Amino acid sequence: MALFSRRKTHFVDSDILVIGGGMAGCGATYESRYWGRDLKIVCVEKANIERSGAVAQGLYAINCYMGMQWGENQPEDHVRYARNDLMGLVREDLGYDIARHVDSTVHKFEEWGLPIMRDPQTGRYQREGKWQIMIHGESYKPIVAEAACKAATEVYNRIMVTHLLTDAKKAGRVAGAVGFNVRTGDFYVFRAKAVIVCAGGASHIFKPRSVGEGMGRTWYAPWSSASAYALPILAGAKMMQMENRIVLTRFKDGYGPVGAYFLHLKTYTQNAYGEEYETRWFDKLRETIGDYVDHHPVPTCLRNHAFLEEVKAGRGPIRMVTKEAFQDPHKETVGWENFLGMTIGQAVVWASQNIDPKYINPELTTSEPYVMGSHATCSGAWASGPSDYAPAEYQWGYNRMMTVEGLFGAGDTIGGTAHKFSSGSFTEGRIAAKAAVNYVLDMGNDRPEASEAEYENLKKAVYQPLETYAVGRNEIVAGTVSPSYLLPIHGLQRLEKIMDEYVGGIGSGYTTNEPMLMRGIELLGMLKEDLAHIGAEDLHQLQRTWELKHRVLASESVTQHTLFRTETRWPGYYYRADHPKLDDQDWHCFTLSRYDRETDKWTMEKAPVYHIID
Ligand SMILES: Cc1cc2nc3c(=O)[nH]c(=O)nc-3n(C[C@H](O)[C@H](O)[C@H](O)COP(=O)(O)OP(=O)(O)OC[C@H]3O[C@@H](n4cnc5c(N)ncnc54)[C@H](O)[C@@H]3O)c2cc1C
């Protein structure tokens, strides 16, 4: 017990607690202050808000901007676009809600100092594609974070939130959260009236292509460790479409993004023999997924599918044809700058492998799957919709409130709203915050009560891995293998192997079936049992431990959802070999799950998809 009693506990009371200070968290913090002038608003971040989250390194484009001031696009157009890309299954009410507000967010970014490129002829923002505008975005995150810091009553950096607290007075209501400082080891109890989870998506739940020392080199941020899903799941919130993991086609080894290359530089792909290959696979694809393949633009997953089939047919590697575009000095500069302001690692990989895209067409690859709610995919929490737009069945509370009272979410956390990206995530944070402020104000003098017993028990659980290590370490004199504990890296590798082999990762060609999923669930159960004996050598490893626990829970959810949906809806993201066809008759619906932490059981259900926009 010595380790527990030494830990100092800090109590922080607030009206609104924002968990995660990435794009959505900054939006939520900023907007909470706008509507809740006198409220106490606290943002808690695992890293440092100035350079945290998926935008930490900067971005070169804002991928969601309507351009309504110039009549470029309307919100309805964006809903149609996202629906098409996700093979019909998006929450149109939530997507519309973001699209109608996203332009004002981007205008704020510009006001705060973000340099947005302009077309010299028209004076409008420089378009990269229909939805994307180009920025000088190396400092995108610090600029956005500054606005959040000015708005917050307090920002707590370097605190990893491990659990949500539940209200002792009213069942099914959230009362705050707990976590620990990853530098000092102090324990934090955040008591709040409303909580907004904005903790990003999930990488490293599937085995990555990069292994060993390169393991951190994944497309999605390695520090996005599934807290966005695990925290609500443990609190009993319903999740949606968790099977809809994303696979990205990216430049090989550095995972540099391809969007600017396709859209702005007008590069294209070809197989090893210099042939166009995508359309070659479309006839066959029509047999399993119908006319979705004829939609424009071709859904992201189907383009992945053509890539994978071409490689399987032995005509890889697939390359991006850069040699033509890079003859233009302007395009060459843009091509390099695109990485230098966002993914420097890709430029370094090319330099180290003697690849000058002016003379060599670089190879592409498909990534391992990730879980997120803001890209060309939309896994996440099941949230209540806007009162003026959502169908009755999607409205049970305040906008962006989950199925747990007082628990809100935004960005990668919330499911059903693909293609919101950085600007849409910030916007959704704002939307959630406005609703959370209303929720808090409507509460009057009532306030949730976090019980001492609950947070004291959680405190013990949070630090237990340090104790387990300290005791078990004495049983071995060298090495890392102990009879009494496993280390976080061991657990992570085991998780990634299970997900890779049984749930449709790179090792199994993104393919799975019912027997494999059942075995995966069994193995995940065993892993969970063993996690009770995890040992953490220091605070850094303690953070790794809790990240792993969050990843395991999110992985279970992905596996349960993949098992439930007996069709292949998104070929190119994953395949159910025992149900190879898209089945609109039975599965033009959302899948929902709820985890019961008392019984350790998952309950699955279907929810209708309402097409609000023609
Ligand atoms: C490689 C890459 C390239 C992209 N390119 C573009 C682009 O060009 N244009 C564009 O518009 N969008 C782009 N996006 C998408 C954009 O980055 C995301 O949509 C956006 O960051 C999602 O916002 P979020 O707040 O949900 O997550 P994030 O911005 O990732 O923020 C999550 C935050 O939560 C914190 N956190 C996590 N767990 C905890 C915990 N347990 N306790 C406390 N804090 C926690 C994290 O440290 C992080 O700060 C890209 C994303 C990636 C990964």
Residue pLDDT, tens place only, 80-111: 999 999 999 999 999 999 999 999 999 999 99
- Nearest atom within ligand 1 for CA of residue 219: 1
- 220 in contact with ligand 1, CB cutoff 6 A: yes
Q: Is the pLDDT of residue 527 over 90?
A: yes
Q: Is the pLDDT of residue 2 over 70?
A: no
Confirm if 244 and 379 have CB atoms less than 8 A apart.
Answer: yes
Residue 445 Cα distances to 15, 173, 228, angstroms = 12, 16, 29
Most informative mutation of 19, 55, 258 for ligand 1 (most atoms within 8 A of CB): 55
- 254 in contact with ligand 1, CB cutoff 6 A: no
> Ligand 1 centroid vs 98 CA: distance in angstroms?
17
What share of the chain in percent tops pLDDT 70? Answer: 99
Calpha distance 380→348 (Å, rounded)? 34
- 415 in contact with ligand 1, CB cutoff 6 A: no
- 27 in contact with ligand 1, CB cutoff 6 A: no
Query: In 3-state terms, what secondary structure has residue 466?
Result: helix
> Ligand 1 centroid vs 62 CA: distance in angstroms?
13
- Nearest atom within ligand 1 for CA of residue 223: 47
- Spell out the residues 6+ positions from residue 483 whose beta carbon is closer than 8 angstroms to its own: 472, 475, 476
* Look-up of token digits 């695109």: 338
> Ligand 1 centroid vs 12 CA: distance in angstroms?
25
What share of the chain in percent tops pLDDT 90? Answer: 92
Across 554-568, average pLDDT: 98
- 219 in contact with ligand 1, CB cutoff 6 A: yes
- 230 in contact with ligand 1, CB cutoff 6 A: no
pLDDT at 499: 98
- 547 in contact with ligand 1, CB cutoff 6 A: no
- Spell out the residues 6+ positions from residue 477 whose beta carbon is closer than 8 angstroms to its own: none
pLDDT at 344: 87
pLDDT in tens, 438-453: 999 999 999 999 999 9
* Better-predicted residue by pLDDT, 8 or 264: 8
Q: 329 pLDDT band (50/70/90 cuts)?
A: very high
Total residue count of the chain as it appears in this document: 614
Calpha distance 153→12 (Å, rounded)? 11
Reading phi first (left if > 0) and then psi (alpha if -120 to 50, else beta), residue 355 is in beta
- 381 in contact with ligand 1, CB cutoff 6 A: no
Ligand 1, atom 20, residue with closest C-alpha: 422
> Ligand 1 centroid vs 457 CA: distance in angstroms?
31
Across 285-312, average pLDDT: 96
Calpha distance 327→420 (Å, rounded)? 34
Confirm if 203 and 220 have CB atoms less than 8 A apart.
Answer: yes
Q: Is the pLDDT of residue 3 over 80?
A: no
The conformation of residue 153, written as its DSSP 8-state character, comes to: S
- Spell out the residues 6+ positions from residue 386 whose beta carbon is closer than 8 angstroms to its own: 93, 94, 97, 399, 431
Q: Is the pLDDT of residue 316 over 90?
A: yes
- Nearest atom within ligand 1 for CA of residue 54: 30
- 19 in contact with ligand 1, CB cutoff 6 A: yes
Residue 424 Cα distances to 67, 270, 295, 401, 446, angstroms = 14, 32, 24, 17, 33
The DSSP secondary structure of 569-603, one letter per residue, reads SSTTT-EETTS-S--HHHHSEEEEEEEETTTTEEE
Q: Is the pLDDT of residue 458 over 60?
A: yes
> Ligand 1 centroid vs 53 CA: distance in angstroms?
4
- 20 in contact with ligand 1, CB cutoff 6 A: yes
- Nearest atom within ligand 1 for CA of residue 52: 49
pLDDT at 337: 87
E strands along 388-506, which residues?
Answer: 407-409
Ligand 1, atom 6, residue with closest C-alpha: 59
- H-only helix segments in 198-343: 227-234, 259-263, 282-289, 300-312, 329-340
pLDDT in tens, 360-389: 999 999 999 999 999 999 999 999 999 999
Virtual CA dihedral for 280, 282, 284, 287, nearest 10 degrees? -170
> Which phi and psi angles does 586 have, rounded to 5°?
-100, -20
Q: Which two tokens stand for residue 190?
A: 């955040």
- 55 in contact with ligand 1, CB cutoff 6 A: yes
pLDDT at 338: 83
Across 455-474, average pLDDT: 97
Rg over CA atoms, the chain: 23
Most informative mutation of 425, 544, 553 for ligand 1 (most atoms within 8 A of CB): 425
pLDDT at 5: 59
Residue 465 CA, distance from chain mean position: 27
Reading phi first (left if > 0) and then psi (alpha if -120 to 50, else beta), residue 369 is in beta
Across 299-324, average pLDDT: 97
- 423 in contact with ligand 1, CB cutoff 6 A: yes
Q: Which two tokens stand for residue 288?
A: 């399993």
> Ligand 1 centroid vs 25 CA: distance in angstroms?
9
Calpha distance 244→252 (Å, rounded)? 23
Q: Is the pLDDT of residue 173 over 70?
A: yes
pLDDT at 487: 97
The conformation of residue 486, written as its DSSP 8-state character, comes to: B
Calpha distance 59→136 (Å, rounded)? 8
> Ligand 1 centroid vs 389 CA: distance in angstroms?
27
- Nearest atom within ligand 1 for CA of residue 255: 1
- 132 in contact with ligand 1, CB cutoff 6 A: no
Most informative mutation of 422, 426, 431 for ligand 1 (most atoms within 8 A of CB): 422
Confirm if 224 and 203 have CB atoms less than 8 A apart.
Answer: yes
pLDDT at 519: 98
pLDDT at 343: 85
Across 221-247, average pLDDT: 97
- 285 in contact with ligand 1, CB cutoff 6 A: no
> Ligand 1 centroid vs 358 CA: distance in angstroms?
32
pLDDT at 339: 85
Calpha distance 371→248 (Å, rounded)? 11
Most informative mutation of 421, 462, 547, 548 for ligand 1 (most atoms within 8 A of CB): 421
Q: What is the mean pLDDT of the chain?
A: 96
Q: Is the pLDDT of residue 4 over 60?
A: no
